[in-house]
Copies of this chain bind each other. A is one copy, B any other.
Amino acid sequence: MQRIIGKQAVLHRYEDLMAYECDGYTIHKGVPAAVIFPANTQEVSAAVTYMHKHKIPFIPRGAGTGLSGGATALNGEVIISLVRMNKLLDVDYLNRKAVVQPGFINLKLSNSISTKGYYYAPDPSSQAACTIGGNVGENAGGAHCLKYGVTTNHVLGLELVLPSGEIVRIGGLPDSPGYDLLGILTGSEGTMGIVTEITVRILKKPQGIKTVVALYDDVNDASQAVSDIIAAGIIPAALEMMDNTAIEGVESGNYPVGYPRDLGAVLIVEVDGIEAGLQHQIDEVLEVCRKHHVREVRQAASVEERARWWANRKTAFGAMGTISPDYLVQDGVIPRSTLPFVLARVGEISQKYGLRIANVFHAGDGNLHPLILFDSRIPGQQQDAVLAGSEVLQVCAEMGGTITGEHGVGIEKMEDMRFVFTEQEIEVQIGLRQVFNRDNLCNPDKIFPKPARCVEVKQHLATVRETAISN
């Protein structure tokens, strides 16, 4: 490797490798055989060609902010870090696209084009650190994906080093003849190759933005308001929710905004677009909120106030560290209409395991982030947190939802895949992987469970769902 990409670009001493033993998912860890830092596509290709020839497994990695273990070397793989490939290569304002290297940081793109009035829409909470390459791998979402869509809706083209080492270019325009290769590569969690260049859509900044917070005594009233806002035909740019425990966390964290600690829930509702129509939309939102017994509503009086609300919300995960030694982030999706039922079930799971669960949601699109609080120093609690998380995902699947909205499957949810796919459906997907990654050297042992008894699981789920509906 040192011969191929330079002596300085390879880590191989155990003490250096330790820093790469996991990504943002810390339950399972593994030390890589080496970490390499290629400087360009040709070096990625040369390194991969070598590893392909010698049957050495490897894993691409961005900033390591992933939450499902996708970049963790469970079995001593070589990690290919893309952080040196961190350039903004081109911006084409007329055709509204930008070309970046995979290690380019998400927020830097919006910052780089802001003065011209443009931005990049997908905004994961980790956007100040995470890379666009990593976003493509996980098909990352964010608070504003309700209106603007997730990463896959913004990727126009990719350059990819196949697991064989060959370099291919895919896409370039919204629609493409043949099969949707961009779609299948986006969100493939590094199992189909190493993305080395990304063309993304950039958007004109909306003329106006208006933001309100609605404070509720009862979380169910807040849930009902979410459903009714969407049913009223308003598509907010963002529609976020935090429950009582989450509010306790964010108000104890670095960015408190003064939410009362006794609230059942807070909603953050943002609309954007042409200035002329915005206040009318906000008035409609407020009307719905009031119908559902809101305690208080506040409209952001300044850009700074809005920024404070978002800093508070976007650092919610980390803020849990102030009220609990450890926490596990989950990521389920449900039909919006089942939100009150699912919240009640999450409450039961919390009681069953004796673990507090804070709920932070992209409520508008039914994407839950239960934060399961535990103390890893107490024997058994980490294990219980994992089991509780899996039970929450099972509830999501039972309600006709799914097991991940934006964090990916990675290592964490491999077994939970059985909640939503039959053995045969999993086999089809493994077949797709083999088209790109025949020898399974590229991020092996991720996403898919080992073959097992999933017909029974599906049957169980069907029964549970029938029961829930008939109740």
A interface residues (Cβ-Cβ under 8 A, vs B): 93-96, 117, 139, 141, 150, 152-153, 166, 168, 170, 172-181, 183-184, 186-188, 204-207, 227, 230-233, 273-281, 333, 335-337, 365-367, 400-406, 408-409, 413, 417, 420-422, 424-426, 428-429, 431-436, 447-448
Contact = CB atoms under 8 A, between A and B. Distances in A.
Q: Which 4 A-B pairs have the closest CB atoms?
A: A277-B277, A183-B183, A204-B233, A274-B277
- Identify which of A180, A181, A230 gathers the most chain B CB atoms within 10 Å of its CB: A180
Nearest to A170: B425
A164 B365 CA distance: 35
B336 A178 contact: no
A180 to B, nearest CB: 5
Contacts of A336: 94-95
Contact of A402 (B152, B172, B280, B337): B172
25 contacts: A93-B231, A152-B180, A168-B422, A173-B333, A173-B335, A173-B366, A175-B333, A176-B420, A177-B408, A177-B413, A177-B420, A178-B409, A178-B421, A178-B429, A180-B183, A180-B184, A181-B425, A181-B432, A204-B233, A273-B274, A274-B277, A276-B279, A277-B277, A428-B435, A434-B435
A336 to B, nearest CB: 6
A122 B358 CA distance: 39
Copy tally for this chain in the complex stands at 2
B175 A406 contact: yes
A149 to B, nearest CB: 8
A292 to B, nearest CB: 15
A432 B153 CA distance: 22
A280 to B, nearest CB: 4
Nearest to A230: B96
B95 A417 contact: no
A447 B336 CA distance: 39
Contacts of A431: 435
Contact of A173 (B94, B180, B233, B402): B402
A175 B141 contact: yes
A205 B152 CA distance: 25
Contact of A181 (B273, B274, B428): B428
Contact of A401 (B168, B173, B207): B173
Given A274-B280, A336-B94, A336-B95, A405 B175 contact: yes
Contacts of A273: 273-274, 277
A227 B233 CA distance: 30
Contact of A274 (B183, B281, B421): B281
A168 B404 CA distance: 21
A409 B177 contact: yes
B422 A428 contact: no
B177 A432 contact: no
A337 B181 contact: no
A118 to B, nearest CB: 9
Given A170-B425, A435-B428, A436-B428, A177 B96 contact: no
A117 B232 CA distance: 10
Contacts of A230: 96
A413 B176 CA distance: 12
B231 A403 contact: no
A434 B95 CA distance: 36
Nearest to A365: B174
A139 B184 contact: no
A333 B281 CA distance: 36
A178 B436 contact: no
Interface centre among A233, A280, A281, by most B CB within 10 Å? A233
Contacts of A178: 409, 417, 421, 426, 429, 447-448
